[in-house]
Chain A
Amino acid sequence: MELIKVENVTKVYKTGTVETQALRGISLTIQSGEFLALVGPSGSGKTTLLQLLGCLDQPSSGKIYLNNKDVSQLNRNQRADIRRGTIGFIFQFFALIPTLTAYENVEMPLLLNGLSSTERRQRVTELLETVRMSNRAHYRPDQLSGGEQQRVAVARALATHPLLILADEPTANLDTENGKQVMEVMQRLNQETGTTFIFATHDPRLFGYAQRTIVLRDGQIVENSHASSTQK
């Protein structure tokens, strides 16, 4: 089933009088349940594309359909509502709310969705279990390692049963072992729950996790390839 359809999308940033063309006519489709890597050097447009797919920003031109709905022209609040129910984010920096415990960070998106406390407890416990963080549930972010924080972020991204999880350089600040753990958790969740994962990276070690790799350069797709059987 087609989850995302991007049609000839461009994004131009203006800084004063200087215009930067971050995306130059991107078109692609992504099927539900994919585990997809966006690859490319710094400045190639990976993050911009993720932000557009994640409804954090609007394209300068072109259309983006999420679940057959045109999301390219929605206003701020409409985009917030789409994000709330449909999309989970994992950032390069370990984007947890520092004043909340691991448990509360995972619980946060659920609070906005009006779940009962029992339902929330059940869901948060299950998610922390999935990312193997149950024993650290009541620690605050500053008491957790980078890898642990990122696993909590993965759990939070999954909390509302999103259709799509977007991860921007999720392992960039982690050592190899922790990076591997985070990627494996994401991969396992993709397989178990069928949630679509799109992650941006320029780390060649991660390419192997992806079922499909889209290579960007200077705001354009230069390669779109399915993984070979040598997948890690």
Chain B
Amino acid sequence: MHSIIKIAYRNLGRNRRRSFFSALALALGLALLLLMAAFLRGEINSALDYTIRLKSGHLQIRAPSYDETKTSLKWDDLIQDPQSLIAQVAALPQVKDATPRLYATAILVSQNKSIGVQVFGIDPQATANQPYRDGIVSGQFLTPDDREGLLLGQPLAQKLGLQTGNRVNLSVNTANGDVNEQVFIVRGIFSTGTNAFDNATILLPLAKAQAITQSDNHASVIFILLKDSRYTDQVANALANLPYKILTWQTMNDMIIQTEDMANAYMMIFYLIVLAITASVIVNTLIMAVFERMREIGILAAIGWRAREILLLFLAETALLTIIGIGLGLIIGLMIITYFSNHGFYIGNMGISGYLIGNMIYTELTFSDTLKLSLITLLITLIAGLYPAILAARLEPVNALHGSQ
């Protein structure tokens, strides 16, 4: 076996340029796959991260009849006296923060433009709302007792030509189905880095939101952040006896999780196409080698090499070429991925509501993705390499010695 590998290695050195370019083709293929995998994982993780931090939390408590899609404000659909419930939830050691939120739909009117928005009534002092506080790009954050201030997402402000201090008219749906209208002052403008959220959201202090929607001491949801997402099921179980609906981030974000599954399935097809192309380059190189070295194959047969050993020789050449290609691919791939994991990859305004994606994707490559893709590459190329190897092994010694098939 050792001699087979040695001969295989030297054979690759006979036409260094050809071997190099074949390995390079494979390397670029693998680098591309690694980049795609890292990009996809970065995107999914970022989407989950944004959505959990800004919208869903790890867990939410809702009234059994609350329908998220209708943004209902009927008292029956809301949680009454959220503070007492929060005290109960916050007592659990795994909970980082629990805060009430009131959601309402509204129309924002400035000069001649009007835009439909979602109102988030939030507790300005809650830790869970820190991402909004951190995102302030001009003006200041809300205070709990502010009665006429609101915060706007940056792209929304730009669309309406609004700046901090400007006045804006807000028409909000109320609990009894009416519309309440009030002039607010833009206290600040925020950017969470995800356009889908910033484009359609305005923030009000909870008390003001409750007042304007006439929902009194009610909240749409209790938004819960955990110290670690691993505690999700544990905490959900602990809260199961409450007369409310408990939703986990997995069920709330099933779209992201399904997207990930679907993307993985698509990616597998994509991987196979890319690998089929790169494998064909390797196979082509080896078929040329079989034809060029026919007489040599005859000599090996003449001195007693069995068909199996000739097959192994060519498979060893494929394997070596592939391993060199994989090594090179890992170097190229990791360099590109490291760059994009630090500098990010600008994708612009890509998110939709319910699927928040940051404007920048930071690539994330896991060890298991790297290992999986490298092994798939090796496997596919070896399978493809069987063809030239069988071609060589099947040559009749007599014909091979004459340099004919």
Chain A residues at the B interface, C-beta cutoff of 8 Å:
51, 54, 56-57, 76-77, 80-81, 83-85, 88-89, 91, 93, 95-100, 108-109, 111-112, 156, 160
Chain B residues at the A interface, C-beta cutoff of 8 Å:
2-3, 7, 10-11, 13-14, 295-296, 299-309, 396-398, 401
| B299 touching A95, Cβ below 8 Å | yes
Smallest beta-carbon distance A11→chain B, Å: 10
Task: Compute how far the CA of A88 lies from the CA of B14 in the bound complex, rounded to whole angstroms.
Answer: 27
Say yes or no: A93-B295 contact (C-beta < 8 A), given A85-B304, A99-B14: yes
Q: Chain A residues with Cβ under 8 A from B10's Cβ?
A: 99-100
Say yes or no: A77-B307 contact (C-beta < 8 A), given A57-B398, A83-B302, A89-B302: yes
| B302 touching A97, Cβ below 8 Å | no
Task: Compute how far the CA of A89 lies from the CA of B396 in the bound complex, rounded to whole angstroms.
Answer: 16
| Closest residue on chain A to residue B402 by CB atoms | A47
| B299 touching A109, Cβ below 8 Å | no
- In the complex, the number of residue pairs spanning A and B with C-beta atoms less than 8 Å apart equals 69
- Would you list 19 pairs from A and B whose C-beta atoms are within 8 A, ordered by A residue? A51-B398, A56-B301, A56-B398, A56-B401, A57-B396, A76-B307, A83-B302, A83-B303, A85-B304, A91-B299, A95-B401, A97-B7, A97-B299, A97-B300, A99-B13, A100-B7, A108-B303, A112-B304, A160-B304
Q: Chain B residues with Cβ under 8 A from A81's Cβ?
A: 304, 306
Q: A56-B301, A83-B303, A160-B304 are in contact. List 17 more A-B contacts (CB 8 A).
A: A56-B397, A76-B306, A80-B301, A80-B305, A80-B306, A83-B302, A83-B304, A84-B303, A89-B303, A91-B299, A91-B302, A95-B302, A96-B299, A97-B7, A97-B296, A100-B7, A108-B3
| B303 touching A99, Cβ below 8 Å | no
Main secondary structure of the interface of B (DSSP, over half): helix
Smallest beta-carbon distance A1→chain B, Å: 23
Task: Compute how far the CA of A160 lies from the CA of B305 in the bound complex, rounded to whole angstroms.
Answer: 13
Say yes or no: A109-B304 contact (C-beta < 8 A), given A97-B296, A99-B7: yes
Q: Chain A residues with Cβ under 8 A from B303's Cβ?
A: 83-84, 88-89, 108-109, 112, 156
Task: Compute how far the CA of A95 lies from the CA of B300 in the bound complex, rounded to whole angstroms.
Answer: 10
Task: Compute how far the CA of A100 lies from the CA of B13 in the bound complex, rounded to whole angstroms.
Answer: 12
Q: Chain A residues with Cβ under 8 A from B309's Cβ?
A: 112
Q: Chain A residues with Cβ under 8 A from B308's Cβ?
A: 77
| B306 touching A77, Cβ below 8 Å | yes
Q: Chain A residues with Cβ under 8 A from B305's Cβ?
A: 80, 84, 112
Cβ-closest 10 pairs across A and B: A84-B304, A99-B10, A111-B3, A83-B304, A95-B299, A80-B306, A89-B302, A57-B398, A56-B397, A109-B303
Q: Chain A residues with Cβ under 8 A from B302's Cβ?
A: 54, 56, 83, 89, 91, 95
| Closest residue on chain A to residue B400 by CB atoms | A56
| Closest residue on chain B to residue A81 by CB atoms | B304
Smallest beta-carbon distance A100→chain B, Å: 7
| Closest residue on chain A to residue B403 by CB atoms | A93
Task: Compute how far the CA of A95 lies from the CA of B308 in the bound complex, rounded to whole angstroms.
Answer: 21
Smallest beta-carbon distance B305→chain A, Å: 7
Q: Chain A residues with Cβ under 8 A from B396's Cβ?
A: 57
Smallest beta-carbon distance B304→chain A, Å: 3
Task: Compute how far the CA of A84 lies from the CA of B308 in the bound complex, rounded to whole angstroms.
Answer: 14
Pick from A51, A56, A77 the residue with the most CB of B within 10 Å: A56
Q: Chain A residues with Cβ under 8 A from B3's Cβ?
A: 108, 111-112
Task: Compute how far the CA of A22 lies from the CA of B286 in the bound complex, rounded to whole angstroms.
Answer: 34
Q: Chain A residues with Cβ under 8 A from B2's Cβ?
A: 111
| Closest residue on chain A to residue B14 by CB atoms | A99
Q: Chain B residues with Cβ under 8 A from A57's Cβ?
A: 396-398
Smallest beta-carbon distance A113→chain B, Å: 8
Pick from A80, A91, A93, A156 the residue with the most CB of B within 10 Å: A80
